[in-house]
């Protein structure tokens, strides 16, 4: 379908009537879309790739358009089937088995996707890591998951402390290198030798496929564990919320190191057999607009931070590009502010559709559908088959317009099934039958949900979730830092920025150089997005009598708000 026809189709949607869909829909009905409902044999890699590659009408369709400043490639469904089969054969040769954790630490590239599906095809669990992670962040995740294999590039290998990772037996290197020990496997050499035929490992719907590490307010990042069953939700939300239709060209801007980049950057489009654009390389407004226009992207899923950056580049930048192919734009990760919605109206003549969900939910939960009346500023309504409510701290449902904890009735298809090696943490998410999100919100009389903020200390900076504990732990590793407390401080462009309060050890004096050195220490040790943009030195950090840092109090001081109950404050 050409661009004109696509544009003309604005207004025709997969879901016609939200109310009717809500009344009639149940998740069981989605199963019939997949052959396993008859055979009982399942693997999400088969459903996303091989199923289309085995269909004579679909096998030559472009599945992946890879676009980076120095590399442009197109891969059909058949190409992806064969490349992932080859990688699955490599894994088998090196004895990777069902349930093993195999991590990926590399930039987006066609090799990434071949490896990712190869991992799923042997029944192993994939752990994609954001390429900007530094040593500590990489180590924490590989250590906790006890990953036995890592796929990375020779450049990124420098951030992998192999000697501290006894479980990690093998490293696959994608790119030129001079490593000779048996630990290292050369990606291209092995792929050249591997067969393109592979007998996929059929698994159970409840078998694991993915680990995404994410931050809470306490402790190190937790491994959120997802199973093959999640495909039901990826598939159906792509139909009704992304509104993917046969000739669409779809682009999700998220990195697969984050859940949006897997659920909606990989599974949702390919389960539906849709052409998917993957963009590598760094962000520039011109590159992003060119990606939309050069590939005739029709459905676009991104985040408020990215929209704000494009907005900041001005209307002239947008006007240089033909953006007429775009018919539907969606957003996730942070509140979608009104300025962004009006920018979308001006630049694309489209209303950006907000969606709300989390790493733990695995898929979209509360959304704005093309088929419903939107209320600007609202996250929308629960997806059909999802029950959402606002509850108090005991799990009692609250009436309309009352603020409380946004909760979801447990049992949706893409719900996390465990926190890796941490059943206690998993249990702590639930109050009876409710999964409690940690977001505060209210629901209006007509059932629309309105986001208010986080109830815990989790920071959302540029749409990325950062746990204060992780940053505090890194800060106190610096020789000058005695104590540290970290908060999110509101920021017009990034949503929040990270602000650290520290006390200095004896013998250290405050100076700009020292503060910059501490900032760099977090940036190069943990990751750029976790480095505090502001550091303030204090004489002491407020703590409870049991020694917990009172971040709430730090935040109140910072914002000039009343400090509330401080009865637990230590002397």
Q: Is 141 a residue that touches ligand PRX (CB under 6 A)?
A: no
Q: Is 481 a residue that touches ligand PRX (CB under 6 A)?
A: no
Q: Is 450 a residue that touches ligand PRX (CB under 6 A)?
A: no
What is the nearest approach in angstroms of ligand PRX to the Cβ of residue 383? 13
Q: Is 335 a residue that touches ligand PRX (CB under 6 A)?
A: yes
Segment contacting ligand PRX by CB under 6 A, of 42-50, 193-201, 321-329, 332-340 = 332-340
What is the DSSP pairing of strand 299-302 with strand 495-504? unpaired
Residue number with CB closer to ligand PRX (79 or 144): 144
Q: How far apart are CA 181 and CA 431, in angstroms?
A: 50
Give the number of residues in contact with ligand PRX, rule: CB under 6 A.
20
Strands of 174-296, DSSP E: 184-186, 208-214, 222-227, 249-252, 275-279
Contact letters for ligand PRX, residues 394-433 (x by CB under 6 A): ----------------------------------------
The answer to whether the CB of 468 falls within 8 A of the CB of 457 is: yes
Q: Is 443 a residue that touches ligand PRX (CB under 6 A)?
A: no
Q: How far apart are CA 67 and CA 71, in angstroms?
A: 6
Residue number with CB closer to ligand PRX (252 or 358): 358
Q: Which residues of 86-118 are buried (b: 16+ CB within 10 A; e: fewer)?
A: bbbbbbbeeebeeebbbbbbbbbbbbbbbbbbb
Q: Is 253 a residue that touches ligand PRX (CB under 6 A)?
A: no
Q: Is 356 a residue that touches ligand PRX (CB under 6 A)?
A: yes
- To 10 degrees, the CA torsion angle through 86, 273, 353, 334? -10
Residue with tokens 């018919």: 327
Q: Is 439 a residue that touches ligand PRX (CB under 6 A)?
A: yes
Segment contacting ligand PRX by CB under 6 A, of 86-94, 310-318, 349-357, 386-394 = 349-357
What is the nearest approach in angstroms of ligand PRX to the Cβ of residue 551? 16
User: 270, 357, 420, 435: which one contacts ligand PRX (CB under 6 A)?
Assistant: 357
Query: How many CB atoms neighbour CB 425 within 10 A?
Result: 17
Q: For the purposes of burial, counting CB atoms within 10 Å of the CB of 323, is it exposed (0-12), middle (13-18) or buried (19 or more)? A: middle
Q: Is 207 a residue that touches ligand PRX (CB under 6 A)?
A: no
What is the nearest approach in angstroms of ligand PRX to the Cβ of residue 439? 5
Query: Which are the contacts of 470, defined by CB distance < 8 A and separation ≥ 6?
Result: 137, 140, 215, 220, 221, 526, 530
Q: Alpha carbon of 177 to those of 91, 114, 164, 174, 187: distances in Å? A: 20, 20, 22, 9, 11
Q: How far apart are CA 55 and CA 174, in angstroms?
A: 31
User: 76, 245, 253, 359: which one contacts ligand PRX (CB under 6 A)?
Assistant: 359
Q: Is 334 a residue that touches ligand PRX (CB under 6 A)?
A: yes
Q: How far apart are CA 485 and CA 323, in angstroms?
A: 45
Q: Is 301 a residue that touches ligand PRX (CB under 6 A)?
A: no
Q: Is 259 a residue that touches ligand PRX (CB under 6 A)?
A: yes
The answer to whether the CB of 185 falls within 8 A of the CB of 172 is: yes
Residue number with CB closer to ligand PRX (14 or 368): 368
Segment contacting ligand PRX by CB under 6 A, of 192-200, 352-360, 421-429, 497-505 = 352-360
Q: Is 408 helix (H, G, I), strand (E, B) or coil?
A: strand
What is the nearest approach in angstroms of ligand PRX to the Cβ of residue 464? 7
User: 465, 474, 478, 529: which one contacts ligand PRX (CB under 6 A)?
Assistant: 465
User: 358, 386, 459, 486: which one contacts ligand PRX (CB under 6 A)?
Assistant: 358
The answer to whether the CB of 216 falls within 8 A of the CB of 222 is: yes
Residue with tokens 């503060």: 515
What is the nearest approach in angstroms of ligand PRX to the Cβ of residue 359? 3
Residue number with CB closer to ligand PRX (358 or 541): 358
What is the nearest approach in angstroms of ligand PRX to the Cβ of residue 304? 8
The answer to whether the CB of 440 falls within 8 A of the CB of 454 is: yes
Q: Is 451 a residue that touches ligand PRX (CB under 6 A)?
A: yes
What is the nearest approach in angstroms of ligand PRX to the Cβ of residue 458? 7
**Chain residues that interact with ligand PRX, rule: CB under 6 A:** 214, 259-260, 332-335, 354-359, 379, 437, 439, 451, 454, 460, 465
């Amino acid at each position: 379908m050409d661009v004109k026809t696509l544009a003309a189709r604005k207004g025709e949607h997969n879901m016609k009537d939200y109310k009717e869909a809500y009344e009639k829909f149940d998740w069981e009905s989605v199963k019939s879309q997949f052959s396993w409902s008859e055979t009982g044999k399942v693997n999400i890699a088969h459903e996303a790739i091989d199923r289309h590659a085995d269909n004579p009408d679909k096998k030559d369709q472009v599945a992946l358009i890879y676009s980076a400043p120095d590399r442009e490639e197109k891969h059909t469904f058949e190409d992806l089937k064969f490349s992932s089969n080859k990688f699955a054969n490599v894994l088998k040769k090196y004895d990777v088995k069902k349930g093993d954790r195999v991590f990926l630490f590399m930039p987006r590239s066609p090799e990434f996707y071949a490896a990712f599906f190869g991992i799923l095809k042997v029944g192993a669990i994939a752990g994609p890591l954001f390429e900007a992670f530094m040593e500590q962040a990489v180590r924490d995740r590989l250590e906790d998951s006890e990953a036995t294999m890592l796929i990375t590039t020779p450049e990124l290998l420098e951030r992998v402390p192999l000697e501290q990772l006894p479980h990690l037996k093998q490293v696959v290197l994608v790119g030129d290198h001079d490593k000779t020990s048996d630990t290292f496997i050369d990606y291209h050499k092995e792929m050249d030798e591997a067969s393109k035929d592979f007998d996929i490992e059929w698994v159970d719907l409840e078998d694991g496929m993915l680990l995404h590490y994410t931050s809470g307010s306490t402790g190190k990042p937790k491994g959120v564990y997802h199973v093959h069953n999640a495909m039901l939700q990826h598939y159906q939300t792509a139909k009704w919320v992304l509104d993917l239709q046969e000739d669409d060209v779809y682009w999700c801007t998220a990195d697969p190191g984050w859940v949006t980049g897997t659920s909606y950057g990989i599974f949702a489009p390919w389960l539906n057999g849709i052409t998917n654009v993957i963009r590598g390389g760094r962000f520039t407004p011109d590159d992003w607009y060119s990606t939309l226009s050069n590939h005739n992207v029709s459905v676009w899923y991104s985040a408020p931070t990215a929209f704000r950056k494009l907005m900041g580049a001005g209307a002239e930048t947008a006007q240089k590009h033909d953006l007429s192919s775009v018919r539907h734009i969606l957003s996730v990760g942070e509140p979608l502010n009104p300025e962004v919605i009006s920018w979308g109206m001006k630049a694309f003549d489209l209303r950006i559709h907000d969606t709300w969900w989390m790493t733990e939910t695995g898929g979209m939960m509360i959304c704005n559908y093309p088929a419903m009346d939107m209320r600007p500023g609202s996250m929308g309504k629960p997806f059909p088959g999802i029950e959402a409510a606002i509850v108090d701290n005991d799990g009692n449902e609250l009436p309309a317009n009352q603020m409380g904890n946004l909760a979801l009735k447990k049992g949706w298809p893409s719900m996390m099934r465990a926190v890796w090696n941490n059943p206690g943490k998993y249990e702590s998410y639930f109050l009876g039958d409710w999964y409690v999100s940690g977001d505060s919100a209210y629901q209006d009389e007509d059932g629309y949900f309105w986001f208010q903020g986080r109830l815990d200390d989790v920071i959302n900076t540029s749409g990325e979730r950062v746990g204060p504990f992780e940053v505090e732990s890194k800060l106190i590793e610096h020789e000058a830092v005695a104590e540290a407390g970290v908060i999110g401080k509101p920021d017009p462009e990034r949503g929040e920025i990270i602000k650290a309060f520290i006390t200095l050890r004896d013998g250290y004096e405050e100076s700009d150089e020292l503060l910059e050195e501490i900032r760099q220490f977090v940036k190069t040790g943990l990751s750029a997005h976790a480095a505090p943009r502001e550091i303030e030195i204090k004489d002491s950090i407020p703590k409870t009598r049991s020694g917990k840092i009172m971040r709430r109090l730090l935040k109140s001081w910072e914002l000039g708000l009343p400090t509330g109950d401080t009865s637990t404050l230590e002397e």
